Amino acid sequence: MNIHFLTKKTTSEAQKNLIVLWFGVFIAGMGFSAFMPFLPLYIEQLGHFSTSVLNLLSSITFAISFVMTALISPYWGKLADKYGRKPMLLRASLGMAIVISLMACVTNVWELILLRALQGFFGGFISNATALIATQTPKAKAGRALGIIVTGTTSGQLIGPLLGGIIASIFSYRGTFLITGALLFLVFLLVIFAVTETHVPTQAQFQNMPQERHPFKHLANKNLLFGMFITTMVIQIVNTSINPIMALFVREINHSTMNTTLLVGMIAALPGISTIIAAPRFGKLGDKVGPQYLLIGGFILAFLVQIPTAFVSSIFLLMFLRFMIGISDATMLPQINALLTKSTPTEMTSRIFSYNQSFMSIGGVIGPLIGAFVANRFGYRGIFITGALFIALNFVHFLTTTKHINPPLT
């Protein structure tokens, strides 16, 4: 992770923040996804449920955290713009550390559902870490710094299920919650002692900010901001729509002697691995040529990858195409963050990134629901065709929102 690109004046402090917050967003992303492989099995241990009830409870337990994050994130963003991003990072990391650790102690499914809701309530670490880095980095170099943060977020979310499955197989389900909680507490300590916030809005600045329910409506590029929120949501929908049936799809096309469970874990991790490799490089390229042009390439690549995935019959070709999906994410996600940064006054950055996280959480809820519905109606392969349609429609919308950018973003 090469971070030697900031000005000499801010190099040491900014690089330290970037390293700590990369680790923090990785653990935060993992905290939301590490339990997915065994969550239904954990719920099954908490009572006697029929298959249909177990499926319903699993869906509720999975979704409620994302729903809560979507609802509460803008409020945390407003507080961050008023009091600073570091206090919100401390709140989020400590709150999630306590809540996730308590999940190891539940005695029934309703306690688990309540704690999952609280996990979403105490969220906001990723959006505020992104906002802190965005406000600390010169806008001309924001793409590369935000690309590095994206690698932590995305890899934590995508590799989390693989790590969670490994930890659970060694330390049990309850042990996984305790270990994840301990890691988040470590993040809390690192933020206290190692993260420095150089810009905290004054009370006078905050009072001069737009205080309407939707404060960004007065910004010059408000349509672009909304377009980026939609793009974030669509990327999350496309990435998560395959989650409910990935194991079944892999089993269907696996004609090798390799264990299906192992293959599913590997395939789930591949987009995260490729994003780690590529995101900082595409972030740097976006700083040079303009983030909107990298986004166009990302849309095209994502569409071209989704279509052949629908017709794949080789497990190794599927692995290659999932790796390329990670490349398309690496092309797009840093550019979204860069465009949000360049289109937003510093004193509103946390609120804008919090709205973006809300849309990401909404995508995390909608994606698996769409995937399950399409799989039931059109088969597993229909999910990839549906994903390609979402990408194409989003691409058209993006082109309309970038026709008149004021001022031009470079």
Mean pLDDT by 10 residues, the chain (410 residues): 49 81 91 78 87 80 87 88 90 95 95 94 90 79 78 80 82 90 95 83 53 61 86 92 77 78 77 84 84 91 95 91 92 87 81 88 87 85 94 92 57
Residues 6+ apart with CB under 8 A from 172: none
Number of neighbours of residue 250 by Cβ within 10 angstroms: 23
Structure tokens given for 84: 């600073």
Residue 203 lies in a domain: no
Question: Which structure tokens are listed for 6?
Answer: 């900031």
> What is the rounded distance in angstroms from the CA atom of residue 236 to the CA atom of residue 368?
10
Q: Are 96 and 185 in contact (CB under 8 A)?
A: no
How far apart (Å, rounded) are the C-alpha atoms in residues 226 and 319?
Answer: 33
Instruction: Indicate the Cα dihedral angle 78, 79, 85, 90, nearest 10°.
Output: -140
Contact 37, 86 (CB under 8 A): no
Q: Is residue 4 part of a domain?
A: no
**Looking at residue 216, what DSSP letter applies?**
G
Residue where the block lists tokens 């995937």 = 371
From the list 60, 21, 17, 35, the residue with the least C-alpha distance to 179 is: 35
Q: Is 403 helix (H, G, I), strand (E, B) or coil?
A: coil
Smallest CA-to-CA distance from 398 within 339, 342, 345 is with: 339
Of 145, 169, 188, nearest in space to 281 by CA: 145
Q: Contact, 365 vs 69, CB < 8 A?
A: no
The Cα–Cα gap between 299 and 235 comes to 10
**How many structural domains compose the chain?**
1
- Residue 201 counted as domain residue: no
Q: Taking the mean position of all CA atoms in its chain, how far away is CA 247? A: 22
Contact 18, 132 (CB under 8 A): no
Q: DSSP state, 15?
A: H
Q: CA-to-CA distance for 403 and 400, rounded, in angstroms?
A: 6
Q: What are phi and psi of 405, to 5 degrees?
A: -95, 130
C-alpha–C-alpha distance, residues 269 and 46, integer Å: 29
DSSP classification of residue 408: P
What is the domain extent for residue 120?
A: 11-196+218-401
Q: Give a yes or no: residue 211 inside a domain.
A: no
The answer to the question of residue 133 being in a domain is yes
C-alpha 204/C-alpha 64 separation (Å) is: 37
Contact call for residues 141 and 10 (beta carbons, < 8 A): no
Candidates 206, 157, 242; CA nearest to 348 is 206
pTM, 2 dp: 0.79
Domain presence at residue 410: no
Which pLDDT score is estimated for 149? 87
Q: Per the domain annotation, does 206 fall within a domain? A: no
- Other Cβ atoms less than 10 A from the Cβ of 316: the count is 9
- Return the amino acid letter for 189: L
pLDDT reported for residue 299: 95
Phi, psi at residue 2, to the nearest 5°? -85, 115
Is 43 domain-assigned? yes
Radius of gyration over every alpha carbon of the chain, rounded to an integer in angstroms? 20
**pLDDT given at position 212:** 53
Residue ranges of the alpha helices (H) in 218-348?
222-240, 246-253, 260-289, 291-309, 315-342
pLDDT number for residue 404:
56
Q: Return the CATH number at 256.
A: 1.20.1250.20
